[in-house]
Amino acid sequence: MSMRYPSYMRKDFTGPDFFRVKMDFPDERVGDVEGEIRRRFREIGGGVKPGQTVAVGLGSRGIHGVDVMARALCRAISETGAVPFIVPAMGSHGGATPEGQEKILADLNITPDTCGARVEPSMSVERIGTVFDDIPVFFSKKALKAHHIVCLNRIKPHSKFKAPVESGIVKMLCVGLGKHQGAAEYHRGALKHGFYPLLKEMGKTILARTPFLGGIAVVENAHDRTMIIKAAGPGDLFEKEAALLLEARRHFPRLPFSRLDALIIQRAGKDISGAGMDPNVTGRAYDLMESDFSENLKATRVAVLDLTDKTAGNAIGVGNADIITEKVFEKMDHEKTLINALSSLSLRKAFIPVRMPSDRMAVQACFSTIGPVPEKQVRAVIIKDTLRVGEFLAAEALEAEIQKNPLARIQARGRLMFNERGGFKGLSER
């Protein structure tokens, strides 16, 4: 039977006028990424001998040009006469299966052919210690068999907690190379001991009891491009990562508003953020012991219109929205989402929000459920995803605020366009 909606839900809804806005964020970049990766490896790779094996930990996070970086790192290792092999360092991602994790790497163009190194996706782990007397520390068996371990990861603000060290090399060691079992133990233990205190103690144990050679740390600018590449060894990892996190925070792209009535996100996914959509942008984080991100933004309604292809059905994070489309629900792989939610103890992120049959109706539901606010006064923003907020659509109620911002430029004005099925097409500029 067909669903009946309130009479104010109009089939011809286009909302108020919107502006296309571009933010002039600084755009500092590394010119020769491949050369920089090779130079940084030489800083930490002096102890690598011909014939030795080097496990290269690579994750599933969105890093621009990660395939180029992975290839450069594997080649730099091979040039020493050593033998690199790739270990997926992504906890429970990919449905917590070897095949799933290998596919994630392949989708990132990281394969034996492109990198000249075999991929060892085994989920087997070994217990290498205990911290706080009750939390076991697990680590990849395949990585432990190598003579050396090198990790490559992006340094960025975390989507759960705030601390001197958040998302980066240390977390990849503790959670990523802990595989499914290690990731689950970390998140369970964090509810008792705290995310950062546990990360610190587990990290110290791993540095002391594994052949970790060093990490290649990447910081991206507000345009999602490589800005800094640094190397860190076991002795200075925490110190260097903390300094790079400050840089990452300083250049993190955020919307230039403190309050919105509606934030519409065109797509979410694990390749966008570990949380599906980054709370550092949305201001939304509801799970147990998660930090409050609402000082960045308070949005009355949040809607998600679609999932990325690369998330492969993992819809973790949609529970932090109020509204999704049927398209999101149909693309959702419930098993992958559930495994991610249970492993990270982020149950709320797997909740199913209100489902609307089209993009048009999802956007309209945001406007019509905030109370008696005239359409022209609704403070609404539409972004592609939480990685890309340098360009967005802003409702006319935000015009004065945008014009006062020295980094913001209004490029066009128009109405929202939808196709005959209610799919969002963009802005009808005039």
pLDDT of residue 1: 39
Q: Is the pLDDT of residue 283 over 60?
A: yes
Report the C-alpha gap between 239 and 232 in whole angstroms: 9
The mean-pLDDT minimum among 89-98, 304-313, 414-423 falls in 89-98
Topology classification of domain 33-251: Rossmann fold (3.40.50)
pLDDT digit string, tens, across residues 218-250: 999 999 899 999 999 999 999 999 999 999 999
**Least confident among 12-16, 144-148, 203-207, 332-336:** 12-16
Residue 308 tokens read as: 């990325």
Residue pair 184/343 in contact by the 8 Å Cβ criterion: yes
What pLDDT is stored for residue 241 in this prediction?
98
Neighbours of 11 (CB within 10 A): 11
| Angle at the Cα of 104 from the Cα atoms of 314 and 27, rounded to 5 degrees | 90
Which band of pLDDT confidence, cut at 50, 70 and 90, is reported for residue 4? low
Tell me, what's the pLDDT at 362?
96
Tell me whether residue 39 is exposed, middle or buried, using C-beta atoms within 10 angstroms of its C-beta: 0 to 12, 13 to 18, 19 or more.
Answer: middle
- Residue-wise pLDDT tens digits, 385-394: 998 899 999 9
Q: Which regions of the chain carry the CATH code 3.40.50.11440?
A: 33-251
The residue ranking higher by pLDDT, 242 or 12, is 242
Quote the pLDDT of residue 7.
Answer: 63
- Please count the other Cβ atoms lying within 10 Å of the Cβ belonging to residue 341: 22
For Cα atoms 123, 151, 97, give the angle at the middle one, nearest 5 degrees. 20
| H helices present in 289-356, as ranges | 326-331, 334-344
Q: What is the pLDDT of residue 422?
A: 94
In this prediction, residue 93 has a pLDDT band, given cuts at 50, 70 and 90, of confident
Structure tokens at 423: 């799919």
With a cut of 90, say whether residue 305 has pLDDT above it.
yes
Q: What average pLDDT does the chain have?
A: 93
- Residue 2: pLDDT band (50, 70, 90) is low
- The 10s digit of each residue's pLDDT in 317-328 is 999 999 999 999
